[in-house]
Structure 1
Amino acid sequence: PESPLAGFSTALSQTTSISSISSEGREDLQVNRLETQMWIKPDIQKTDVDFSEILNAIQEIAKDVNIFFDELEGVNSPSKDDDSLLHHGNLTSTSDDASRLEVVGEEVPDKNKTNGLYFRDGKCRIDYILVYRKSNPQTEKREVFERNIRAEGLQMEKESSLTNSDIIFVKLHAPWEVLGKYAELMNVRMPFRRKIYYLHRRYKFMNRIEKQISRFRGWLPRKPMKLDKETLPDLEENDCYTAPFSQQRIHHFIIHNKDTFFNNATRSRIVHHILQRVKYEEGKNKIGLNRLLSNGSYEAAFPLHEGSYRSKNSIRTHGAENHRHLLYECWASWGVWYKYQPLDLVRRYFGEKIGLYFAWLGWYTGMLFPAAFIGLFVFLYGVTTLNHCQVSKEVCQATDIIMCPICDKYCPFMRLSDSCVYAKVTHLFDNGATVFFAVFMAVWATVFLEFWKRRRAVIAYDWDLIDWEEEEEEIRPQFEAKYSKKERMNPISGKPEPYQAFADKCSRLIVSASGIFFMICVVIAAVFGIVIYRVVTVSTFAAFKWALIRNNSQVATTGTAVCINFCIIMLLNVLYEKVALFLTNLEQPRTESEWENSFTLKMFLFQFVNLNSSTFYIAFFLGRFTGHPGAYLRLINRWRLEECHPSGCLIDLCMQMGIIMVLKQTWNNFTELGYPLIQNWWTRRKLRQEYGTQRKASFPQWEKDYNLQPMNAYGLFDEYLEMILQFGFTTIFVAAFPLAPLLALLNNIIEIRLDAYKFVTQWRRPLASRAKDIGIWYGILEGIGILSVITNAFVIAVTSDFIPRLVYAYKYGPCAGQGEAGQKCMVGYVNASLSVFLVSDFENRSEPTSNGSEFSGSPLKYCRYRDYRDPPHSAEPYGYTLQFWHVLAARLAFIIVFEHLVFCIKHLISYLIPDLPKDLRDRMRREKYLIQEMMYEAELERLQKERKERKKNGKSYHNEWP
């Protein structure tokens, strides 16, 4: 479209100078020069030009420029809520005819008024649904509760279920007076004036970047990841300033239609707020819908979806039927897996809390691209350098080196060359690029968190969450009921509120902490059981009749132990959830966010320890404290501790991470989507058998939604926990498994669409809750980032052979003293890393049944093992060599240097990246100023209008103002 400024250049020159503004659609809008500020007030002196048209044109241009700048920073901007706005542009739809009918005052038939979204009168929209059974004995409580609901001003209708006459649906509608009253109490922010954007000078390089990008548009795909804006409406509130709703200042707000002023999500949130405060029986604890749900008085409570998510017609030709259909086509459909998410639509339909989760998940997934690419590069570097690796060559060629048995009696002697495959696999993950990748991932975690803070700030500004503070949050009904007798003045509001004594709070926290400690001990006991299993099983597999298992006893032990560990993890998770819930309720948190934070911290600690304890054992303890042949350390003086494979322990860690990561993500995806799919399919199947397809299709919306699965009782907790644990796997041991970011990326691409499909199609519509950020999860992410630096330093220094190889190359190898560390300097490393043991020195219970005569035709006299110890005939048999102490010192030095270096880089990055983008900070200051100005102007306009009315009525007052 042509620039809207084409007809107003003369008038605009009086207010601001714009050298050139050209437009080829919103994406190609370029602003070459703007004055430091552009602000046009409506009270401009009269001219021959129609300034209302000028203001509208400037608003459109300012909006386009702002969208262009936001898109450069990765900010999506979609959508208006009225259903008529779902059909616009050149789409052929009945909505255009409907809008014309509304203009001339004719009644428009609305399909939504006949499909179960309205009361029987077709005028009152259903804001909330309660479900109960007539056979339930809690009749008196329901009657009192419903009578109090009506006393609060809510309107009510009841319907019997079409499939079960025992089920009753209670339809609730909040009229305008109730919505206005509670919107003011809840500080709901509503639009009161359209934005006139303040355009300031951007950094000079922004224009240069745009010019460079435009050069490549001829051959680059035209933004394939962008959403099709022809199918997406514009959200009106994004173009308006908002303020807490006030009935006294109602004339300041933009109210085109009282029925649609509060969107559906806000209406249901207000009704839910009322239901949480209504009594159902006399008594301090007899309050709130949650208690009625828990004692079975009501079976379910939920807001309605906005119709079906499917349509017979294409969204491109006929537009979207409703916002649910629009979300399905543009977000939950598998065909748009590569597209950006319509976050504003998600927020509009599901609320800010769910919108922030998907914003964070999308940001995390996008940030995984560079990590996955570098991790894949490290792995491919290992593949390409495999044939040139001197260490793996020596292992594969060491047919004359006989290794000592790795377990008592049944494990045989083995050639070192039998470990050839494992040595090559180890090189794929443990090579020269590993250290670089570990440093990169530590920096990546910091950059990810710092830029998420900036991204969150932009989202919070766009969604009016900047000023949303805890003082607006409601006190939990359970806390109110428990401590209603003890009150104190709120230091902020000055009103009395329930109060929990310090001694009571401390005692509850002590009991809760004791419970957490006990459950962590249970996890450690489970890990100890796995260790015993590994020790016992390796001997069993070594004596197995199948040669494949017998020759790979250690790998078979590791694989089965990981699978058993996974099963134990999943079983303990069920127990942890119940314990965490009990301990959290015991603490009696004051607000819902405090309850969520406390529950989240407990569950994360339980599951993190449960999931990673065995991984920590393999990384830092396996094979470290086994002793040496002839003097093995044993558990309870019975079981010999497990040793590492001759090629090292890193292969065990890789197997542990790979199997756990793949199995857990696959299981989570199945349980998240598979369970509700199966449940809903079974319900639909029964309905088809009983009522037929045609009858089922005519069910009202409340009946269809009731047959869907309810959202998890803990909200988004499971979604966040899954991703946070994945983030831990991706960063904590990434030096041992560089492919972890790639696996996480592939999983998250699927996860976003799985979660979207689940929210839109398989779950009842959740309550639209507000949230300013991702809560305590951000602190947990920062803690994981710090822990990842420490663990990766230890993995490189202790678990891998990076440090021993480096010490050998510079101190003991052919290039010692020359300052080189190439592959030629590693000649003889394998022999130098193995010690010699006299077979006759074996303990009786450790002596193998085989004497090794199959290797040389005579009983073996010596065997080798991984360690730096003196030979048996030295002055101190099996004592540590000087090389051992050099390697130990180098490992400790590396850990200290690595940690300090990476922590310095992390803190430097955190310092250099501000939490708020500069342009956002300027926009916030400017908006605050403009809001004050517009409030004054609106009040002045009202007073002037009243003055004109007085004069018209012939009334005169002294000392009138203005």
Structure 2
Amino acid sequence: MVILQIHIIHVSLLLVCVELSWPFAAGMMQWEPAVDSSSSGFIPRVVLELASNTKEEAAAWLLSRIRDPQRNGGAELLVEQLGPGVGAQEKDNPNLFLVGASWPRLLSGAEDVGLFKEYSDGSMRGFTCANKHNFKHFKGEGDGFLSMSECQYIIKHELDTLRAKEETHVPGYTQAKLYPGKSIIRRLQSKGILIQMFPLHDKEDLKRLSFSWYKKVKLSLQPLDEIKHYYGEGQALYFGFLEYFTFALVPMAFIGVPYYLFDWEDYDKYVVFAVFNMIWCTVILELWKRRSASLAYHWGTLSRKKAFEEPRPGFHGVLGFNPVTGREEPLYPNVKRQLRIYLVSLPFVLLCLYFSLYIMMIYFLMEGWALSVHDENPTFWTGLLLFIPSIIYAVVIEVMNLIYRYAAEFLTDWENHRLESSFQNHLVLKVLVFNFFNCFASLFYIAFIMQDMALLRHSLATLLITSQILNQIMEAFLPYWLQRRRNKKMVRKVLKRRIFEDKVLPLPEQVRLEADMSMYLGTFDDYLELFLLFGYVSLFSCVYPLAAVLVVLNNITEVYSDAFKMCHVFKRPFADPAANIGVWQLAFEAMSVIAVVTNCALIGMSPQVKGYFPDSETQLILWTVAIEHGLLAFKFILTFLIPDVPKYIQIKLARLEFESLEALKKKKMEASEVSKKIQ
């Protein structure tokens, strides 16, 4: 059985590697540079696609607002309409616009968004145009001081903060209401006038990144700096955490293999491994905080102040004034939102949990039936029958998780949260609660109600392997197959037009090809998968030590498949200047607390420990609870003893704060002396 399980994972890994050797788009064509900057000075960085039936007055108004100087309330950006290209068809959307910016505008935008760059003394400081020559690597105009992703993020920020002045509605659309201070881009998105806004890929940078990331087999770390340079800090932190989690699993996998082999039939000798589990899940999360802080400081996001959040595009309410900004915007009573949460969303989540519990009981009935059939007639086929209920249950779990995800998104959107961060936090909470219960309820029932360690090992192995195979199919093979078919169709269309002879794709076709690619929906599903895998390993791997081995193999395939999807399946996402993994850090820490309690309970149930309390089960329970509380206390003490930020970074941040205060005092003194001279 063990050999079969590992063989399945190895086959999955081999198939992914074979799939990754077929870069359907990048291998068939190359992209010419967007525009020769030396000839036109305009470098397109962001694409805006309006609906094909957008009224001309609306498009003209939007373009004028984008081009207007900042002093007139515009974004002061460069924008050109995408030409039809050679061989254009009538059904091609003509409303594609390329947005760029002059170098001085990008520098002023970098100061506006609070971009941190490396100073001449090696520290990371907020960029200012006044001190631009004191920053490392700044040489002059267009010198690469700002990466492509940073330029695109600046342009997106300027577009997002483009606000209505005295307009009452979008020209040509009386139903698209506007008011002073309303974000124009968000209104166009909510009304379906603006279909999408995405940054363009850069052929040369993408080619270099692809080669160093996944196109060569190597035993080295991921190029996190290059990933950050091309995709931004949010993506780089996800891949950094995936890499860190994989390496953190290696000691557990190294111990788990001999532990599993020597204790194949003895399901009760798991005390030592359970103790290791408790220490491991605490230490790795604390060390990750330090690793995350080091990366964030190196990338300039650790001390970066978060910008004031604008309302979500779908947020609605009665028009009023924001007490913080003083601008007009929709206002929605928090009482109504809370009523929706507690009277609708919460009962729905509880109902889903009950349904999940009902499905779990059906699974146990199927498990009992399969066991009875095997006991009556123990043959090879009835032995295989024992795995069928767990496989079916694992498939049902994945389907239920997928359906519930859509329902949770609908409910969270209906709750009408003003901020995107609030929306994400409530969505994560809903999804985590259901996924945790749906995936682990049966294992808790087997472990602590049935107290059947053999069945627990069997169920955990089947659920883990089946879920990994399904995830590889849903997240890797199916998207690759669908996207390859669509992109091959697009390539055939381009070839029929005969618009290039040397396999260099012109700009119009590059933009249209990228516009048809799938939109990248963020790292939510990726973190959720890692969260569940972390749960399988930290909660019950003491009874199935090979869990860590399987998760390591899964993570290796995840690195390559995610890298391939980012480079060739999805549109390029905008950079996300994150300083950490956000709410997912709290989710993993909560799982580690549950892991301590679970492993203590498993230790208390082991025959070795029960042997010390032959006459008093109550005393055993009291001792188990006392040890569990002591370990939790030790865990929280360890959290305080291990600083989240390394000492050398703390010193640099303190020095920077001191210098800022001294500079402020100096400015005040100079201003005071000037005022005295004037008097």
TM-score tier, shorter chain, comes to: 0.7 to 0.9
The residue identity in structure 1 corresponding to 2:635 is K
C-alpha spacing 1:605/1:747, structure 2 compared with 1 (3 Å):
same
Which of 132, 135, 139 in structure 2 is aligned with 1:256? 139
Asked if 1:430 corresponds to 2:326, the answer is no
Residue 140 (structure 1) shift: 5.0
Residue deviations 1:667-699, cap 9 Å, x none? 223322323322332133224444439857332
| Structure 1 residues 758 and 565, CA gap change in structure 2 (3 angstroms) | same
Q: Find the partner of 2:43 among 105, 108, 125.
A: 125
State the alpha-carbon separation in 2 of the partners of residues 728 and 769 from structure 1: 27
Are 2:367 and 2:389, in contact at CA under 8 Å, matched by a contact in 1? Answer: no
State the SS of the aligned residue for 1:767. Answer: coil
Decide which structure has the larger Cα Rg and report it. Answer: 1
Hey, what does 1:115 align to over in structure 2?
33
Give the AA of the match of 1:379: Y
The structure in which a higher percent of residues are helix is: 2
Within the alignment, does 1:184 sit opposite 2:184 as a pair? no
Pairing of 1:313-328 with structure 2 (within 5 A)? 322-328=204-210
Secondary structure of the residue aligned to 1:485 is: strand
- SS state at 2:79 partner: strand
Q: Compute the displacement of 1:129 (Å).
A: 1.0
Seen in structure 2, the aligned counterparts of structure 1 residues 717 and 907 have a Cα distance that, compared at 3 Å, is same
Give the match for residue 6 of structure 1.
none
1:157 is the counterpart of 2:80: yes
Q: Which residue of the partner structure matches residue 233 of structure 2?
A: 352
Shift of 1:194: 1.5
Alignment-derived partner of residue 273 in structure 1: 157
Residues 705 and 744 from structure 1, CA distance in 2 versus in 1: closer, same or farther, beyond 3 angstroms?
Answer: farther
What are the superposed Cα offsets for residues 111-150 of structure 1, whole Å, 9 maximum, x if unpaired? x99533557954211110123464x356554443333222
CA distance, structure 1, for counterparts of residue 290 and residue 373 of structure 2: 59
Counterpart residue number, 2:321? 486
Q: Distance in 2 between matches of 1:732 and 1:516?
A: 26
Counterparts of 1:125 and 1:456, CA distance in 2: 34
1:189–1:243 Cα contact (<8 Å) kept: yes
Q: Deviations over 1:652-673 (max 9, x none)?
A: 2112211221222222233223
Q: Give how far 1:721 is off.
A: 0.8
Is the 1:734–1:792 contact (alpha carbons within 8 Å) kept by the matching residues of 2?
Answer: no
Partners of 1:685 and 1:700 lie apart in 2 by: 17
Which residue does the alignment assign to 1:532?
Answer: 362
Does structure 2 retain, via aligned residues, the 8 Å contact 1:351–1:767? Answer: yes
Q: 2:296 aligns with which of 449, 457, 460?
A: 460
8 Å contact from structure 1 (residues 524, 613) kept in 2:
no
Pairing 1:265-344 to 2, within 5 Å after superposition? 265-278=149-162, 280=170, 283-284=177-178, 287-290=183-186, 292-293=188-189, 295-307=191-203, 322-336=204-218, 338-344=219-225
2:120 to 194, 214, 227: 194
Q: Match of 1:57?
A: none
* TM superposition shift of 1:380: 3.2
The answer as to whether partners of 1:460 and 1:466 remain within 8 angstroms in 2 is: yes
TM-superposed CA distance for 1:897, in Å, is 4.0
Instruction: Give 1:520-669 correspondences, 5 Å limit.
Output: 520-532=350-362, 534-535=364-365, 538-539=368-369, 542=372, 547-548=377-378, 556=385, 559-622=387-450, 649-669=452-472
Q: Structure 1 residues 545, 732: CA separation in 2 closer, same or farther (over 3 Å shift)?
A: closer
1:892 maps onto 2:621 in alignment:
yes
* In structure 2, distance between residues paired with 1:122 and 1:249: 29
C-alpha distance in structure 2 between counterparts of 1:669 and 1:118, whole Å: 41
Question: Which one of the candidate residues 475, 484, 495 is aligned to 1:692?
Answer: 495
What is the CA distance between 1:181 and its match in structure 2? 4.2
What is the alpha-carbon distance in structure 2 between the residues aligned to residue 621 and residue 345 of structure 1?
A: 50
Match of 1:441 among 265, 274, 277: 277
RMSD: 3.7
8 Å CA contact 1:114, 1:122 repeated in 2 = no
Mapped contact 1:292–1:298 kept (Cα < 8 A): yes
> Against the structure 1 CA distance between its residues 163 and 378, is the aligned structure 2 distance closer, same or farther, given a 3 Å change threshold?
farther
Relative to structure 1, is the Cα distance of residues 755 and 327 closer, same or farther in structure 2, using a 3 angstrom cutoff?
Answer: same
| CA-to-aligned-CA distance 1:791-847 (integer Å, 9 cap, x gap) | 22223434x55555x25xx85xxxxxxxxxxxxxxxxxxxxxxxxxxxxxxxxxxxx
Q: 1:757 to 1:287 in 2, by over 3 A?
A: same
SS at match of 2:284: helix
Residues 481 and 284 from structure 1, CA distance in 2 versus in 1: closer, same or farther, beyond 3 angstroms? farther
Q: Distance in 2 between matches of 1:802 and 1:499?
A: 63
Secondary structure of the equivalent of 1:335? coil
Residues 490 and 513 in structure 2, CA contact (< 8 A), matched pair in contact too: no
Q: Distance in 1 between matches of 2:255 and 2:370?
A: 41
* 2:345 matches 1:515: yes
Q: Is the 8 A contact 2:200 2:511 kept in 1?
A: yes
Q: For residue 650 of structure 1, what is the amino acid of its counterpart?
A: M
The structure-2 alpha-carbon separation of the partners of 1:240 and 1:300, relative to structure 1 and needing over 3 Å to count, comes to same
Superposed, which structure 2 residues align to 1:533-932 within 5 Å? Answer: 534-535=364-365, 538-539=368-369, 542=372, 547-548=377-378, 556=385, 559-622=387-450, 649-692=452-495, 697-700=503-506, 703-704=509-510, 706-707=512-513, 710=517, 714-798=521-605, 801-804=607-610, 806=611, 886=615, 888-889=617-618, 891-928=620-657
CA shift for structure 1 position 541: 7.1
CA distance in 2, matches of 1:454, 1:497: 42
Task: Kindly state the Cα deviation for residue 430 of structure 1 after the two structures are TM-superposed.
Answer: 2.7
The total of aligned residue pairs comes to 614
Between the aligned partners of 1:141 and 1:352, the Cα distance in structure 2 is 35
Contact 1:476–1:590 (8 Å) recurs in 2 = yes
Task: From the superposition, tell whether residues 897 and 436 of structure 1 become closer, same or farther in structure 2 (CA, over 3 Å).
Answer: farther
| Structure-2 change in CA distance of 1:117 and 1:902 (3 Å) | farther
Aligned partner of residue 320 in structure 2, secondary structure: coil
Provide Cα deviations, 1:247-288, integer angstroms capped at 9, x if missing partner: x55565564232344321122112212332445456248744
* Amino acid paired to 1:505: N
Q: Percent identity?
A: 25
Aligned match of 1:854: none
| Aligned residue identity for 1:703 | E
Which residue type is aligned with residue 789 of structure 1? V
| Equivalent pair of 2:476/2:561 in contact (CA under 8 Å) | yes
Structure 1 window deviating more from structure 2 (360-369 vs 593-602): it is: 593-602
Q: Is the 8 A contact 1:363 1:452 kept in 2?
A: yes
Aligned partners of 1:803 and 1:890 also within 8 Å: no
CA distance in 1, matches of 2:546, 2:371: 30
- Conservation of the 8 A alpha-carbon contact between 2:320 and 2:331: no
Q: Which runs of 5+ in 2 are unaligned?
A: 1-29, 69-73, 165-169, 669-676
Q: Distance in 1 between matches of 2:216 and 2:465?
A: 22
Write the distance in 2 (CA, Å) between the matches of 1:341 and 1:593.
29
Q: Aligned-pair distance for 1:480?
A: 7.5
Aligned to 2:6: none
Task: Specify the code of the residue in structure 1 equivalent to 2:223.
Answer: P
In the other structure, the counterpart of 2:248 is 367
Q: TM-score, normalising length from structure 2?
A: 0.80
5+ residue gaps, structure 1, are: 1-111, 196-238, 308-321, 384-423, 625-648, 812-885, 940-958
Which residue does the alignment assign to 1:407? none
- Tell me, yes or no, if the aligned pair for 1:543 and 1:550 is still in contact at 8 Å: no
Contact 1:542 1:549 in 2 (8 A): no
Distance 2:375 2:246 in 1: 47
Q: Is the 8 A contact 2:120 2:135 kept in 1?
A: no
1:778 positional shift: 0.8
Contact between 1:488 and 1:499, CA under 8 Å: does it hold in 2? Answer: no
Q: 1:346, CA displacement in angstroms?
A: 1.2
Asked if the contact 1:189–1:244 (Cα under 8 Å) also holds between the matched residues in 2, the reply is: yes
Is the Cα–Cα contact under 8 Å of residues 731 and 788 in structure 1 kept in the other structure? Answer: yes
CA deviation after TM superposition for structure 1 residue 438, in Å: 1.0
Could you tell me how far apart the structure 1 residues matched to 2:317 and 2:101 are?
Answer: 30
Q: Output the TM-score relative to the length of structure 1.
A: 0.58
Structure 2 match to 1:475: 310
Aligned partners of 2:367 and 2:390 also within 8 Å: no
Give the letter for the 1:476 counterpart.
P
**Residue identity in the other structure for 1:615:** L
> Residues of 1 paired with 2:141 and 2:635: CA distance?
52
